[in-house]
Amino acid sequence: MNTREKLEKNKMENKIPAKDRIIAWPRMGRIDIPLKALVISLGAKVVIPPANSNKALEIGVKNSIEGICLPYKLNLANYIQALDKGANTLMMFQAPGSCRLGNYTKMAQKTLKSMGYEFDMVIFDMYQSKMKQTLQAFWHVTHCLNPWKYYKGFSLGFNKFFAIDTAEKLLFYTRPREINKGDAEKCYEKWLKITDETNSVLKAKKLKKQIIEDFKKIPIDKNKEVPVVYLIGEFFVLLDPYTNQNIEKELGEMGVEVQRQIMFSDWLEHVLKPSLFYHRESHRERSVRYAEKYMKRAIGGECIETIGDTVYAAKHGVDGIIHISPFSCMPEIVAQNILPKVSREEDIPVMSLVIDEQTGKAGYITRIEAFIDLVKRKKRKKLKDNVNLLSK
């Protein structure tokens, strides 16, 4: 058996009969809501591990090697917590050929087996239009043959992804501008709950509109001077609020509008839709285009997206960039090396934050505050210059 075949075989284990399967997957932000909807529609049972927390991190650190990156430690902890809660099938996607992510599942499988757990691991590749493989993985897990159920599951899942991302974007916009503090947050939490409870396709399709309308009702101060900051960096750290210490909320409360270019639904659409039906310029293509001056080739991970987004931001009047990455993340270290030059040449302030298990929140907040002060000062100066120009 050659290596490739072995790899393929390891991907989809099949020891537990489909009807006994209880499925779990690692946590990353709120992806549990749409995925739950999808898997339950296919008729399988689901265990959701508790959200990432200090406890999860402790479990992860204890059971993984020292040199591995933070996302793996949390993923492993999620698996352990899910298995303890009764799960017996673990799902995970991977994108081989990028960075250490391609090795996560292999390692987790080995570690968990040496810890004495018994389970099936189902792994599927996710890069450019892998709808077939994804469907296969879900078929493998559930053995569901009813196409209507697939339609229902996937459209529920997708609509929920879009709904959550819409709510998140509106939350980022509203939070710094709201007049009664906490309104936007409450609205967001409410809609997350509603999204989670929705289980008909028709209702799910309406979610997005309803969310937009509801957010419009929150009283906001439209004339407030709000600097816009882009969050860029590593995928997992950006999407998981525990890992990034809820930087979006901190920034929002400081009166800064956060924008994030990496949105789960965008990525998912780009990855799953066959290229025939995908007409827009994807985020990655756009990044490659913008990063051209600094990078001539993609080097794995989200490095080129980071650089491309920074240039894009500078050209579209964004006031500052915060770059977050986990400690020892290889692609992001390359990005960190390139960013100072981009910042200098495109005239945009950039701050890099590296996150590891020990990041103290106080020091982190101080750095963000100092950076935001800088951004605000710079913005004010720019406005003044513009006024002077006009009066001349």
Least gap, CB of 111 to other proteins (angstroms): 9
User: How many residues in the chain?
Assistant: 392
For position 295 contacting other proteins by CB under 8 A, the verdict is: yes
Q: How far is the CB of 320 from other proteins (least distance, A)?
A: 19
55, 65, 221, 275: which one contacts other proteins (CB under 8 A)?
Answer: 65
d(CA 173, CA 387): 26
Q: Does 155 bind other proteins (CB under 8 A)?
A: no
CB of 244 to other proteins, least distance (A): 17
> What is the C-alpha separation between 16 and 77, in angstroms, rounded?
22
**Span from 55-63, 84-92, 240-248, 321-329 in contact with other proteins (CB under 8 A):** 321-329
Figure out which of the listed residues 7, 131, 383, 387 binds other proteins, where binding follows CB under 8 A. Answer: 7
Give whichever of 37 and 334 is closer to other proteins, judged by the CB atom. 334
Instruction: Give me the least distance between CB of 146 and other proteins, in Å please.
Output: 34
Instruction: Indicate which single residue of 15, 17, 54, 67 sits in contact with other proteins (rule: CB under 8 A).
Output: 67
| C-beta separation of 161 from 211 below 8 A | no
Least distance CB 121 / other proteins (angstroms): 14
Task: Map the footprint of other proteins across residues 79-118, applying CB under 8 A.
Answer: 96-100, 102-103, 106-107, 110, 114
Q: Nearer Cβ to other proteins, position 50 or 97?
A: 97
- Chain position carrying tokens 């513009």: 386
CA nearest 252: which of 351, 182, 326?
182
CB-neighbour burial class of residue 357 (10 A; exposed 0-12, middle 13-18, buried 19+): middle
Q: Minimal CA–CA distance to 237: which of 323, 125, 351?
A: 323
**Closest C-alpha among 77, 65, 102 to residue 24:** 77
Stretch that binds other proteins, among 47-55, 267-275, 334-342, 372-380 (CB under 8 A): 334-342
Report the 10 Å Cβ neighbour count for 39.
24
d(CA 122, CA 14) in angstroms, rounded, equals: 9
Could you tell me if 122 and 152 are in contact, meaning their C-beta atoms sit under 8 angstroms apart?
Answer: no
What's the closest the beta carbon of residue 268 comes to other proteins, in angstroms? 21
**94: which strand partners?**
125
C-beta of 3 vs 391, nearer to other proteins: 3
Q: What are the tokens at 320?
A: 């500052």
Stretch that binds other proteins, among 4-12, 28-36, 218-226, 259-267 (CB under 8 A): 4-12
Question: Residue-wise over 298-335: b if at least 16 C-beta within 10 A, else e?
Answer: bebbbbbbbbbbbbbbbeeebbbbbbbbbeebbbbbbb
Q: Which residues bind other proteins (CB under 8 A)?
A: 2-3, 6-7, 10, 65-69, 96-100, 102-103, 106-107, 110, 114, 294-297, 299-301, 303, 327-331, 333-334, 336-338, 340-342, 352, 354
